[in-house]
């Protein structure tokens, strides 16, 4: 039974005391007060299937009892403790997290948010290489601190103030909307395991984008090259954008050859979400120099991290890098427990199994719907791009998208929204969802599409 402030009272407090552009997704904002596994409950007790999991934040399920117990126990023993002392949990956690990464990435910095992690990654890239310029992809999202706002490429999140210097964008290798997208392998037959069916040599789009990137490096940074490039393994906020096969591998090789570092932003794609691998970058067959992580790492707790090599970390010993809350005993026990739950509840395998089933069911929906232009993703990181015309791929009108989206909510399914035109349904549920939840989602989406 909910006993807190009324909806009206919360609306009033928002108006007077909170950030005036705090996004509330729905026209009548959804007010939730309880979560359990893959479900959220509103003030009246109505249950929703949370297929957005707070944007990949809730990885192992809402209010997981093992996390609550671990936090309780830790808070009773030792709560906050600055890292100027030894305390056991940060050590246990760092060792466990490092064991999940490639051997060369053994040094972990703990921070509190994805933006902070990317901010630190910028510093690491610049200190290590002695260079300044950083490249990221159009349509990317890497955070909202002053520096990461310049790294991010989405007008919705960019204020009209002078942006931090030294950040450049390269063309987004979007296989659905990009200029060379037509020849991408994903146009080929969909396989049951969602693997690519093309032969590398035929993947023209990837090569075209890579040529373009290499030319850009040559002409834009002839003297000094770049400090590094940032890439999400699959773009999240940008609308679940996947890149052509081998494109990232080519970019990685190019950047390394020019003396820069490769930074993988695993804030959304890490921790088993993509199913095939624990980290999204593994699908691109690369080993980045720096990996940033947040969201799913703490199942909703403010925890984030940066992993890098001993050599890169050495470059940050010229001054002291300090973070008051980073890796405190409570966040460390949360992170450690999340890793144990992912392993013991086989959540990566579940992402693969349920995610693949969901992708294939959505693909069937696409065949029969005039408005489903593209279904893409990997594991439980899925995007459904809604269009008004399949031939031109023009985005579905915003009013229609909103109607469909709100109708899904009304029927009990929470979906995310993203993409530059806000016309991509983002499906990123807690990794504990079942096949039945996936089927229910498709059924609801089908009904909502029919209602259009």
Minimum Å gap between C-beta 55 and ligand PMP is 6
CB 260 within 8 A of CB 129: yes
The residue range among 89-97, 185-193, 263-271, 281-289 that interacts with ligand PMP, by the rule CB under 6 A, is: 263-271
CB 108 within 8 A of CB 306: yes
For ligand PMP, give the closer residue by CB, 145 or 207. Answer: 145
Residue 424, beta-bridge partner list: 385, 418
For ligand PMP, give the closer residue by CB, 328 or 371. Answer: 328
For ligand PMP, give the closer residue by CB, 180 or 262. Answer: 262
For ligand PMP, give the closer residue by CB, 74 or 118. Answer: 118
Site string for ligand PMP, 399-428 (x = CB under 6 A): ------------------------------
How far is residue 175's CA from residue 373's CA, in Å, rounded to a whole number?
13
For ligand PMP, give the closer residue by CB, 140 or 198. Answer: 140
Of residues 36-65, which lie at the interface with ligand PMP (CB under 6 A)?
A: 55
Place of tokens 């890490």: 270
**331 near ligand PMP, rule: CB under 6 A:** no
For ligand PMP, give the closer residue by CB, 265 or 276. Answer: 265
**114 near ligand PMP, rule: CB under 6 A:** yes
Minimum Å gap between C-beta 51 and ligand PMP is 17
Residues 6+ apart with CB under 8 A from 421: 395
CA of 119: how far to CAs of 65, 114, 126, 141, 271, in Å?
A: 33, 9, 11, 13, 21
Q: How many residues can be counted in the chain? A: 452
Reading the block at residue 357, the tokens are: 């089933």
Minimum Å gap between C-beta 238 and ligand PMP is 9
User: Contacting ligand PMP (CB under 6 A), which of 236, 239, 383, 430?
Assistant: 236
Site string for ligand PMP, 131-170 (x = CB under 6 A): ----------xxx---------------------------
How far from chain centre, in Å, is Cα 363?
A: 22
How far is residue 285's CA from residue 206's CA, in Å, rounded to a whole number?
15
Q: Measuring CA to CA, which residue among 364, 301, 347, 314 is closest to residue 111?
A: 301
Residue number, nearest CB to ligand PMP: 114
**267 near ligand PMP, rule: CB under 6 A:** yes
Supply angle C-alpha 314, 319, 325, rounded to 5: 90
User: Contacting ligand PMP (CB under 6 A), which of 40, 205, 294, 444?
Assistant: 294
User: Contacting ligand PMP (CB under 6 A), which of 90, 105, 229, 237?
Assistant: 237
User: Contacting ligand PMP (CB under 6 A), which of 50, 119, 174, 265?
Assistant: 265
- SS3 for 389? strand
**241 near ligand PMP, rule: CB under 6 A:** no
For ligand PMP, give the closer residue by CB, 255 or 294. Answer: 294
Minimum Å gap between C-beta 153 and ligand PMP is 12
How far is residue 440's CA from residue 366's CA, in Å, rounded to a whole number?
16
By CB under 6 A, how many residues form the interface with ligand PMP? 15
The residue range among 5-13, 90-98, 230-238, 279-287 that interacts with ligand PMP, by the rule CB under 6 A, is: 230-238
CB 118 within 8 A of CB 294: no
The sign one gets for the Cα dihedral 434, 245, 211, 225 is positive
Give per-residue burial for 142-173: e unless 16+ CB within 10 Å, then b: bbbbebbbbbbbbeeeeeeeeeeebbbbbbbb
Chain positions contacting ligand PMP, by CB under 6 A: 55, 113-115, 118, 141-143, 232, 236-237, 265, 267-268, 294
């Amino acid at each position: 039974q909910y006993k807190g402030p009324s909806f009206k009272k919360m609306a009033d407090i928002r108006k007077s005391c909170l950030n005036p552009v705090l996004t509330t997704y729905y026209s009548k904002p959804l007010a939730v007060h309880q979560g359990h596994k893959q479900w959220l409950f509103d003030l009246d007790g109505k249950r929703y299937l949370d297929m957005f999991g707070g944007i990949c934040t809730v990885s192992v399920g809402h209010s997981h009892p093992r996390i609550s117990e671990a936090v309780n126990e830790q808070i009773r023993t030792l709560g906050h403790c600055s890292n100027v002392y030894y305390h056991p949990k940060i050590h246990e956690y760092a060792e466990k997290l490092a064991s999940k990464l490639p051997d060369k990435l053994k040094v972990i910095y703990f921070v509190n948010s994805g933006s902070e992690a990317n901010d630190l990654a910028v510093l690491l890239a610049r200190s290590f290489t002695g260079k300044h310029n950083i490249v990221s992809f159009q349509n990317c999202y890497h955070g909202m601190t002053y520096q990461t706002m310049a790294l991010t490429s989405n007008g919705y999140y960019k204020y009209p103030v002078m942006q931090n210097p030294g950040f450049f964008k390269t063309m987004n290798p979007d296989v659905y909307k990009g200029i060379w997208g037509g020849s991408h392998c994903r146009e080929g037959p969909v396989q049951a395991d969602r693997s690519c069916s093309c032969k590398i040599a035929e993947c023209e789009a990837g090569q075209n984008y890579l040529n373009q990137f290499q030319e850009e490096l040559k002409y834009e940074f002839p003297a000094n090259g770049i400090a590094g490039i940032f890439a999400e393994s699959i773009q999240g906020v940008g609308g679940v954008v996947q890149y052509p096969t081998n494109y990232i591998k080519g970019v990685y090789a190019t950047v390394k050859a020019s003396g820069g570092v490769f930074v993988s932003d695993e804030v959304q794609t890490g921790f088993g979400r993509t199913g095939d691998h624990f980290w999204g970058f593994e699908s691109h067959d690369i080993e980045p120099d720096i990996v940033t992580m947040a969201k799913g790492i703490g199942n909703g707790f403010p925890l984030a991290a940066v992993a890098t090599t001993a050599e890169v970390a050495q470059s940050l010993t010229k001054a002291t890098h300090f973070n008051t809350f980073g890796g405190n005993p409570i966040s460390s026990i949360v992170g450690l427990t999340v890793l144990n739950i992912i392993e013991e509840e086989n959540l990566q395998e579940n992402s693969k199994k349920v995610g693949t089933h969901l992708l294939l069911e959505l693909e069937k929906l696409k065949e029969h719907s005039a408005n489903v232009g593209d279904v893409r993703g990997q594991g439980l990181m899925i995007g459904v791009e809604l269009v008004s015309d399949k031939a031109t791929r023009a985005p579905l009108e915003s009013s229609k998208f909103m109607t469909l989206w709100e109708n899904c909510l009304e029927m009990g399914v929470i979906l995310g929204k993203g993409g530059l035109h806000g016309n991509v349904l983002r499906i990123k549920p807690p990794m504990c969802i079942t096949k039945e939840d996936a089927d229910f989602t498709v059924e609801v989406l089908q009904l909502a599409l029919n209602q259009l």
